[in-house]
């Protein structure tokens, strides 16, 4: 993936972006053996050889954040020993190894965040952060107001009572209900089990929001890179919660290996 030369220099910890721009303009930066003075120059930090004042920059992989609309019939993991379709089949063209943040069932669809930032992803999945996830669901039958209230207050599942949730009726139908449910936990099959507990099985489930990210009109099977604003919003979520809790960034104490292992476990 190509990024601006001044960002590569800044990401390597050599200088601020502004100072990196000055270094480029002063002719102190070489790309693949040639002095480069144009500020708009883009390079691939993993392939191109960048030197500043004659010294090679250690390549730092760029941060990658992707938003995928997982269709039904795909596993939300990167591989499957049984050979079923996985989200890897949809990620052609992504040069770096990215990991899914959390999971969606085989028959669920919607927003999946993928990133090479193991620690950030691990933190977003941590129950402590209560990152909201919103699902648009079609369920069998019509829910009464009492049933909606009990979903919002918490229902008892085999792994304990669920935390508070928010439920909104979105569409009227005669035999089924369309709802939006927001939960702040990430237990396996949680939404389906919650609706099962009140006697209304889920017929269709689409994740439409994850923290500050929204699926929007991204078509099923398509992915896009997060905008800088979205990536910053994700980082801000973590900063806010860490400072509220007075935590010294606990997930960053995980080694990259531990972060990746936690990601593979999903949440």
Q: So which residues are the catalytic ones?
A: 105
Q: At what angle do helices 256-265 and 118-125 cross, to 10 degrees?
A: 50
User: Applying CB under 6 A, which of residues 104, 143, 151, 215 lies at the interface with ligand URA?
Assistant: 104
Buried b (16+ CB within 10 A) or exposed e, 208-232: bbbbbbebeeeebeebeebeeebbe
Among 120, 151, 205, 215, binds ligand URA (CB under 6 A): 205
Residue 87 as a binder of ligand URA (CB under 6 A): the answer is: no
Nearer to ligand URA, 112 or 237 (CB): 112
Query: Among 189, 203, 221, 230, which residue interacts with ligand URA (rule: CB under 6 A)?
Result: 189
CA 19 to chain centre: 32
Residue 106 dihedral angles phi and psi, to the nearest 5°: -55, -40
- 105 is a contact residue toward ligand URA (CB under 6 A): yes
In this complex, which beta carbon is closest to ligand URA, that of residue 57 or of residue 75? 75
**Binding flag, residue 230, ligand URA (CB under 6 A):** no
In angstroms, rounded to a whole number, what is the distance separating the alpha carbons of residues 251 and 1?
Answer: 27
In whole angstroms, what is the distance from residue 242 CA to residue 249 CA?
6
Of the pair 41, 182, the CB lying nearest ligand URA is at 182
- 101 touches ligand URA by CB under 6 A: no
Residue 192 near ligand URA by CB under 6 A: yes
Cα–Cα distances in Å, from 19 out to 26, 59, 64, 117, 247?
10, 19, 24, 26, 33
Q: Shortest approach of ligand URA to residue 192 CB, angstroms? A: 3
Nearer Cβ to ligand URA, position 42 or 189?
A: 189
Contact residues for ligand URA, defined by CB under 6 A: 104-105, 108, 189-192, 205
């Amino acid at each position: 993936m190509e990024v601006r030369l001044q960002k590569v220099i800044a990401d390597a910890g050599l200088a601020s972006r502004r100072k990196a721009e000055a270094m480029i303009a002063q002719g102190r930066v070489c790309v693949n053996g040639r002095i480069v003075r144009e500020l708009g120059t883009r390079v691939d930090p993993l392939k191109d050889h960048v030197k500043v004042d004659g010294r090679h920059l250690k390549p730092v992989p760029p941060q990658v954040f992707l938003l995928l609309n997982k269709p039904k019939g795909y596993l939300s993991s990167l591989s499957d020993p049984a050979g079923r379709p996985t989200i890897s089949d949809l990620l052609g063209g992504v040069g770096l190894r990215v990991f899914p943040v959390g999971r969606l069932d085989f028959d669920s669809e919607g927003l999946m965040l993928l990133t090479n930032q193991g620690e950030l992803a691990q933190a977003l999945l941590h129950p402590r952060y209560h990152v909201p996830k919103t699902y648009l669901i079609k369920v069998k039958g019509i829910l009464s107001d009492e049933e909606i209230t009990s979903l919002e207050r918490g229902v008892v599942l085999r792994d304990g009572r669920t935390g508070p949730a928010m439920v909104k009726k979105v569409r009227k139908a005669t035999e089924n209900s369309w709802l939006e449910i927001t939960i702040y936990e990430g237990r396996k099959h949680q939404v389906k089990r919650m609706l099962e507990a009140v006697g209304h099985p889920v017929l269709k489930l689409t994740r439409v929001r994850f923290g500050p990210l929204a699926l929007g009109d991204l078509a099923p099977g398509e992915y896009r890179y997060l905008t800088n604003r979205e990536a910053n919003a994700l980082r801000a979520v973590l900063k806010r919660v860490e400072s509220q809790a007075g935590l010294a960034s606990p997930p960053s104490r995980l080694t990259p290996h531990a972060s990746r292992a936690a990601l593979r476990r999903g949440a």
